[in-house]
Chains A and B, each alone.
Chain A
Amino acid sequence: MTGQELAPPNNPLTRLPPGTRSLGRRSRKLKWRHRMRKFKRACLAVMAIWVAALVIGFVGGGIGIGGVMATFFTMMMVFVALLVFPRMRVPEAAELRGSGLTKLAGRTEVFLEARRPMLPRPAQGLLDRIGVELDQLSPQLVRLDEGDPAAREVRRLLGEHLPELIESYQRIPEPLRRQAHAGSTPEQQLVGGLEVIAREIETMTGEIARGELDALATRGRYLELKYVSTDGE
């Protein structure tokens, strides 16, 4: 089963196919969590079937060898089915806008992963770069306050500009994507836009980290002023 079969190019994915390459650590973590949840659910279901069989056997005076086999088979089927389904949902653009700062980077990565196979090769490379940048941005976002102007900017960039760029490219019919329009081809426009976004994420990471950098520099200078020079200058 490949991504192409599940979703034709013009139809964005709603579920993440198994084995999709992770763009970054954040999405890997989200996927791992999703898998653990499925595993837990599968275990619980198996337990429930077992208990049900036990109760039925107790009340009805045994379920017989056929019953045991059926129970065992059902347990297996349910376990496997629950391990595979439900597939991880790919967040939609609107959801990205609404998600909390802590999960924003990871969800964006999942969003990009689902769309990666449908984009031209140079854009795929840029998505990988954006994944790396998002991994760096993510720990900074956790410390950021929701009301911070920087948070608003990040949300605008990841929740609006990025998905809109990719979706508007995907809305263009396949044959037209390589024909020049307004000076360059849609493919080139997509790549150009992604480049700007990748650079902007990097800038934002630096911007947010600047507060920490300043704090450290100030602390160092303070220690110098207090304990090294005596006149406070």
Chain B
Amino acid sequence: MASETQPVALADDLKLNAPDPVPTVAPERAAGLVPVTDAVKSKLETRVEEFVTELVAQDANSPEFGRRVDQITNMGRREIVEASGQSNRFLDRPVRAMDGTSGVGADLAELRRTVEDLDPSKQGNLLQPKKLFGIIPFGDKLRDYFDGYKSAQSHIGAILARLQGGKDELLMDNAAIDVERQKLWALLGKLEQMITMSKLLDTRLEDRAADLDATDPAKAKAVRESALFYVRQRTQDLLTQMAVSVQGYLALDLVKKNNVELIKGVDRASTTTVGALRTAVTVAQALTNQRLVLDQITALNTTTANIIESTGKMMKDNTARIHEQAAGSTIPIETLSRAFQNIYETMDSIDAFKLKALDNMKQTVTSLEGEITKSKAYIARSQGQSQASLESGAAAGANLLEAVD
């Protein structure tokens, strides 16, 4: 890592960790992940109690009974539809940041290519005098080399500025993820409430049916066959959606963590690049007494406070050392080579990170897509019901089976 290249080592090690893929959440384990407060729970209990009492009071064959059973099939419809909309939306997120052909990935690749052209270790022996046809002394290799910086600086400056833009985009993505997660969390709370409610309904209806077995077996049968049947179906729907949403919630966090790591990488790549360029400025001064003016880079420094801070610290250590070593002129060149090595190491670790992260992300997306396909059937069903309820106007009137705000 960077710490091995001593003189131009950065203060801390760059370690980019690809977060682990999100495990598949089984529907039966999805409930209970989001807490429902006791106050809400007792409110739900009263509602369920009231609903069951009203249901049992109706004649089992009356349309009124049927209307109440319809309410069960509609239970949590809005929550499920809303949650499914959100689950689908973050599927297109992961790919964006990791795309190698555009944005941050492309800029990093370009930066690497440009920087490689300036690498002193690829220039042969810079201290050897330059000779025309190998005989006549002509010009100064070192001076030519440092002139290369002047022509490259605007290009590097542009790439670094683009990288900063890319970093801002990643930050924006993370902000959007934060907002989405916040909303998803609220939605998960609602889903959890509906699950609690449908489980309560299940037990209460079961109890009531058992009571009715002795007095009114026909009604007990109706309660079991229609109401209880739909309650159980609904519980399954809700649990499936909950599983998908929880997984999506975790996947969003994964994307966010990846972005944070990538931002760190971009920052470090910029820092090491600017560091190398400033080392070059110092080395040029020490070796050729040439004032290498890299305005573009200096201008960049003033805009990115982050870079100033870390490179400034690094440079303070280095400048003194380089001037000390200027007498033995191979050492400053070595220092410069190491500065370049630093850039490569940063980029290599970003590449390694991206490979691992992409793999984890793919795993997450695949399992999430599988879950979403499974839950789609339920969503289609609940959407059909919503249409039916709107067309018949049946949803009018107070509905007891709704989440508490």
Alpha-carbon separation in the docked complex, A232 to B176 (Å): 13
Residues in A with CB closer than 8 Å to B172 are 218, 222
A64 within 8 A of B: no
Q: Are the C-beta atoms of A192 and B175 separated by less than 8 Å?
A: no
User: Within A199-233, which residues are at the interface with B (CB < 8 Å)?
Assistant: 200, 214, 217-222, 224-226, 230-233
**B260, A233: Cβ atoms under 8 Å?**
yes
Identity of the chain A residue whose Cβ is nearest the Cβ of B262 in the assembled complex? A232
The answer to whether B396 and A195 touch across the interface, beta carbons within 8 angstroms, is: yes
B74 an interface residue at 8 Å Cβ cutoff?
Answer: no
**Contact assessment for B176 and A218 in the assembled complex, using a CB-CB cutoff below 8 Å:** yes
The reply to whether the CB of B235 lies closer than 8 angstroms to some CB of chain A is: no
Beta-carbon nearest neighbor of A230 in chain B: B306
**Which A residues lie within 8 Å of B260 (CB)?**
231-233
Of A183, A189, A225, which contacts B171 at CB under 8 A?
A225
Contact, CB under 8 Å: B179 / A217 = yes
Stretch from B106-114, B190-198, B349-357, B387-395 at the A interface: B387-395
Q: A161-B391, A192-B393, A196-B393 are in contact. Are A218 and B179 (CB under 8 A)?
A: yes
A232 lies within 8 A of B393 (CB): no
Interchain CA distance A233-B177 in the complex, whole Å: 11
Chain B interface, DSSP helix/strand/loop, else mixed: helix
Residue A117, interface by CB 8 Å: no
- Let me know if A192 and B397 touch, CB within 8 A: yes
Chain A 42-96 interface residues, beta-carbon cutoff 8 Å to B? none
B306 pairs with A221, CB closer than 8 A: no
A189 near B393: Cβ-Cβ < 8 Å: yes
Is A193 in contact with chain B by the CB < 8 A criterion? yes
Q: Is B263 an interface residue (CB 8 A)?
A: yes
Contact of B168 among A165, A226, A230 (CB under 8 A): A226
A193-B393 in contact (CB<8A): yes
State which residues 138-180 of A face B: CB under 8 Å: 161, 165
CA distance A196 to B179 in the complex (A): 30
Q: Mark A119-136, 1 if CB is under 8 A from B, else 0.
A: 000000000000000000
Which residue of A is nearest B169, CB measured? A222
B273 at the interface (CB under 8 A from A): no
Interface size on A, residues (CB 8 A): 24
Q: Is B348 in contact with chain A by the CB < 8 A criterion?
A: no
Distance from A10 Cβ to chain B, minimum over Cβ atoms (Å): 22
B residues near A232, Cβ cutoff 8 Å: 170-171, 174, 259-260, 263-264
Residues of A within 8 A of B180 (CB): 214
Interface residues of chain A: helix, strand, loop or mixed (majority): helix
User: Chain B nearest CB: distance from A98 CB in Å?
Assistant: 21
Interface string of B162-192 (1 = CB under 8 A from A): 0000001011101110111011000000000
B134 beta carbon closer than 8 Å to chain A? no
Chain A neighbourhood of B168, CB < 8 A: 226
Q: Are A196 and B390 in contact (CB under 8 A)?
A: yes
Q: Is the CB of B396 within 8 A of A192?
A: yes
Is B63's beta carbon under 8 Å from chain A? yes
Quick check: B179 and A214 within 8 Å, CB to CB? yes
Distance in angstroms between the alpha carbons of A1 and B172 in the assembled complex: 62
User: Who on chain A is nearest to B183 by CB?
Assistant: A214
* Residues of chain A contacted by B395 (CB below 8 angstroms): 196
Q: For residue A192, which residues in chain B have a CB less than 8 angstroms away from its CB?
A: 393, 396-397
Pick the residue among A161, A218, A220 that contacts B390 (CB under 8 A).
A161
Instruction: Specify the chain A residue showing the minimal Cβ separation from B396.
Output: A192
Residues of B within 8 A of A224 (CB): 175
Give A196 Cβ to nearest chain B Cβ, in Å.
5
Nearest-Cβ distance from residue A152 to partner chain B, whole angstroms: 13
When C-beta atoms are compared, the residue in chain B nearest to A160 turns out to be B391
- With A230-B306, A232-B259 in contact, is A222–B175 under 8 Å at CB? yes
- For B390, the chain A residues whose CB sits under 8 A away are 161, 196, 200
Residues of B within 8 A of A191 (CB): 396
Question: How distant is the Cα of A230 from the Cα of B264 in the complex, in angstroms?
Answer: 11
Chain A residues, CB < 8 A from B182: 217
CB pair B259 A225 closer than 8 Å: no
Chain A residues with CB under 8 Å of B179's CB are 214, 217-218, 221
Residues of chain B contacted by A219 (CB below 8 angstroms) = 175
Complex Cα gap A200–B396 (Å)? 11
A221 to B175, Cβ gap below 8 A?
yes
A233 to B172, CA, bound (A): 12
18 new A-B contacts, CB < 8 A, other than A221-B178, A232-B259, are A192-B393, A195-B396, A214-B179, A217-B179, A218-B178, A222-B174, A222-B175, A224-B175, A225-B171, A225-B175, A225-B178, A226-B171, A230-B306, A232-B170, A232-B174, A232-B263, A232-B264, A233-B260
Sorted nearest first, the 3 A-B pairs with minimum C-beta distance are: A192-B396, A193-B393, A222-B175
14 A-B pairs (CB sep. < 8 Å): A165-B393, A193-B393, A195-B393, A196-B396, A214-B180, A214-B183, A218-B175, A218-B176, A218-B179, A221-B175, A221-B176, A221-B178, A232-B170, A232-B259
Chain B interface residues toward A at CB < 8 A: 63, 168, 170-172, 174-176, 178-180, 182-183, 259-260, 263-264, 306, 389-391, 393, 395-397
